Amino acid sequence: MNTVKFPYGVSNFEQLSTQNFTFVDKTKYIQDLEDEKYVSFLRPRRFGKSLWLSILEYYYDINQKNKFEQLFGKYYIGKYPTPLRNTYRILKFDFSGIDTSTKESAKQGFNLKIKTYITGFSDRYECLSKENIQSIYQTEDAEEILSIFCEKYDKKYPIYLLIDEYDHFTNEILYRSVDEFIDSVSKQGYVRKFFEVIKTATQQGIVDRVFITGVSPLTLDGITSGFNILTHLTHHLDFEAMMGFTQDEVESLLELVLQDSSRKDEVIQEMKEWYNGYKFSRHSTETLYNSDMVLYYLKYFARFQTRPEPMLDPNIAPDYGKLKQMFEVVNMYENKQVLQEVLANGTVQAPLITQFSFTRGFKKNELINFLAYLGNLTIESIDMTGRVKFKVPNKVIEELYWQYYADTINENSGIEIKSSNIDKAIENMAKYGEYERFFEMITKVLESLSNRDFIQFNEKQVKMVIIAYLMLAGIFDVISEREVQSGGYPDLMLFKRPSNPYEHHEFVIELKYLKKEQANEVEKTMQEAKEQVLYYYKQDKTLQNRPYLHLLTVVAVKDELHVEKAETI
């Protein structure tokens, strides 16, 4: 029986440390952080931000001084502590879980959060009188609550302020109403006023240190002039791996539970394709893994020695599944052109933006950077002009893009293709090798899109529609233009997913596109496609070793698909 405990879903450091969870020790970064007093550090969802704040909380809290050796003794910072350990009172805010369905509920929820955390702080450190607590209870606005607290607080006891999910509720507001978002962080907005009080508290010596974390800089940029004291370490190379896992860290974790060492490269490659790929500093030479996704995988793998299904943790799918909201914030038509570019090319270019401003507009470059902060794109490379090439980081995010694109197609096609029908058609491909029904359905979709001028027809666009619906079913491992042994790049390969223990039919598809006026060239083009896909097959032993493989050729004449099978014998 495997006794390794992975801290999947654990964000409390005391629980992690005392209950013998396996821990990737990041505590060495505490030393470097002490060089900066007021820090912001952003990462996508589920990258270990809450756990990191818990580490800081237990390390610096004066109330936890007697537990220091128990909690930190076996980790780096326990062996090399700093003079500031356990010298602060910790005031911690978490702005997730606020009801943002209306303008009123958002503000009330924010105010209640501040009131709850301030009174909780007072209870822990016994630092306010009953009269002061009563005054806070009778106050409704967050900035006034914090002002009363600062006025009555004895500043000889310095505070370390930690803010988790600082932008969670404001991003929710943004998805619903850009104007309301701007109002909340503008000069007279309640969020900005609150952060102005924090800045004043640092000037008064009440708040000595600040660490703020969240996902995107949009809210920080909105309140910049009211809270312009932060050092932004998000893109700093020295802190690149403070959250998320490196390749070496993932391999070390896998070795704890891998029973067959000969499988190491295979398993690592699978995890890399699905969970790796993130880069936040333009100077970084190594990409990072999403830590939550890795722990989700390894917790399952430890027990069954195979990958989990689905590969995307269902508990975090909603966090990464907000593509629709992102693309519809503003400039919806232009934003969907970005979506098309990402899916067609796999990459998109834009200058790296570290500060946003809705007063300057929110257009293509802003959307691309926003997607990167949210973890749906990441830095691939930088050219000589300083423009960044962004890419989809991994297969988890790629599948989410395709799912959203399929939803967009359904909305714009004017016809309803039930997911159960498309699933059944793709299931028949896998079980029986029957592909005709699937391509008939795709033809209907293309015809409807053509009538509505939704896409500019070419080979890439037709392939994108096919991929989108294939991805929805989750039956095949859909591979686009991956090199085979012949040196060629088949348009599509539909293989059995590695975790599927049952054999089923598979496909290699070569796609050609003709304009309407080239319709008389279908037969000739079909023959060329057959020769090409047969060449791939005859030169590639791995393809020949797939017993249920079909070679298909698809010739699209604008929105009409002609599909034939290429015989291998």
Name the residue among 81, 14, 2 with its Cα closest to residue 53.
Answer: 14
**Separation of alpha carbons 185 and 216, rounded Å:** 14
Q: Among 149, 178, 151, 181, which Cα is nearest to 167's?
A: 181
Give the pLDDT confidence score for residue 408 in this predicted structure. Answer: 82
The pLDDT tens digits of the residues spanning 172-208 come to: 998 888 889 989 988 889 999 999 999 999 999 999 9
Instruction: Please compute, for residue 5, the number of CA atoms within 13 A of its CA located in the half-sphere on the CB side.
Output: 10
| pLDDT band (50, 70, 90) for residue 320 | low
Average pLDDT value for residue range 527-535? 95
Q: Three-class SS of residue 228?
A: coil
pLDDT at 569 over 60: no
Q: Which residues of 435-455 are buried (b: 16+ CB within 10 A; e: fewer)?
A: beebbebbbebbebbbeeebb
**Distance of alpha carbon 200 from its chain centroid, rounded?**
34
What CA–CA distances, in Å, run from 547 to 53, 286, 355, 436? 52, 38, 54, 20
Side-chain half-sphere CA neighbours of 185 within 13 A: 26
- Please, which pLDDT band fits residue 313 given cuts at 50, 70 and 90? confident
pLDDT of residue 548: 95
pLDDT tens profile 140-158: 999 999 999 999 999 889 9
For domain 25-239, is the CATH number 3.40.50? yes
Q: Which residue type sits at 41? A: F
**Average pLDDT, whole number, for the chain?**
90
Burial class (CB in 10 A: 0-12, 13-18, 19+), 10: middle
Global pTM?
0.91
pLDDT band at 416 (very low <50, low <70, confident <90, very high): low
**Average pLDDT, integer, range 515-540:** 93
Please state whether beta strands 207-214 and 38-42 pair in parallel, antiparallel, or not at all (unpaired).
Answer: parallel
Q: Which residue has the higher pLDDT, 209 or 398?
A: 209
Report whether pLDDT(221) > 80.
Answer: no
pLDDT higher than 80, residue 450: no
Within the chain, all domains assigned CATH 3.40.50 are found at 25-239
3-state secondary structure string across 401-455: HHHHHHHHHHHHHCCCCCHHHHHHHHHHHHHHCCCHHHHHHHHHHHHHHHHCCCC
- Confidence at 363, pLDDT banded by 50, 70, 90: confident
Q: What is the pLDDT of residues 1-29, one digit of tens each?
A: 568 999 999 999 999 999 999 999 999 99
Band (pLDDT 50/70/90 cuts) for residue 220 is confident
pLDDT at 441 over 80: yes
Confidence of residue 346 (pLDDT cuts 50, 70, 90): confident
C-alpha–C-alpha distance, residues 273 and 343, integer Å: 17
Environment class of residue 269 by beta-carbon count within 10 Å: exposed (0-12), middle (13-18) or buried (19+)?
exposed
| pLDDT class of 375 with cuts at 50, 70, 90 | very high
Supply the pLDDT for residue 366.
87
Q: What is the pLDDT of residues 455-513, one digit of tens each?
A: 677 888 899 999 999 988 889 999 988 888 778 899 999 999 877 788 999 999 999 99
Residue 331 φ/ψ region, left for φ over 0, alpha for ψ in the -120 to 50 degree band, beta for the rest: left
Q: Which of 101-110, 277-286, 320-329, 433-442 has the lowest mean pLDDT?
A: 320-329
Residue 451 has pLDDT above 80, yes or no: no
Give SS3 for 81: coil
User: Do 213 and 163 contact (CB within 8 A), yes or no?
Assistant: yes
What is the bridge-based pairing of β-strands 387-391 and 378-382? antiparallel
CA 544 to chain centroid, in Å, comes to: 37
The fraction of the chain above a pLDDT of 90, given in percent, is: 66
pLDDT digits (tens, 9 = 90+) for 228-275: 889 999 999 999 999 999 999 999 999 999 999 999 999 999 999 999
Give the span between the Cα atoms of 195 and 67, in whole angstroms.
32
pLDDT at 173: 92
Write the CB contacts of 27 (distance below 8 Å, at least 6 apart in sequence): 55, 59, 72, 75, 76, 77, 78
Of residues 299 and 402, the one with the higher pLDDT is 299
Tokens representing residue 378 in the block: 């990441």
* Residue 435 and residue 498 in contact, taking contact as beta carbons nearer than 8 Å: no
Give the β-pairing of 549-557 and 506-514.
Answer: parallel
> Are 146 and 194 spatial neighbours (Cβ–Cβ below 8 Å)?
yes
| Residue 319, pLDDT score | 66
* Mean pLDDT of the region 314-327: 72
The gap from C-alpha 376 to its chain's centroid, in whole angstroms, comes to 5
Tokens 């709850």 -> residue:
116
Q: pLDDT band for position 415 (50/70/90)? A: low
Question: Residue 407 has what pLDDT?
Answer: 82
> Taking residues 422-439, what's their average pLDDT?
94
Structure tokens at 394: 């991994």
Residue 7's nearest CA partner among 240, 243, 291, 250 is 291
Rounded to whole angstroms, how far apart are CA atoms 242 and 40?
Answer: 13
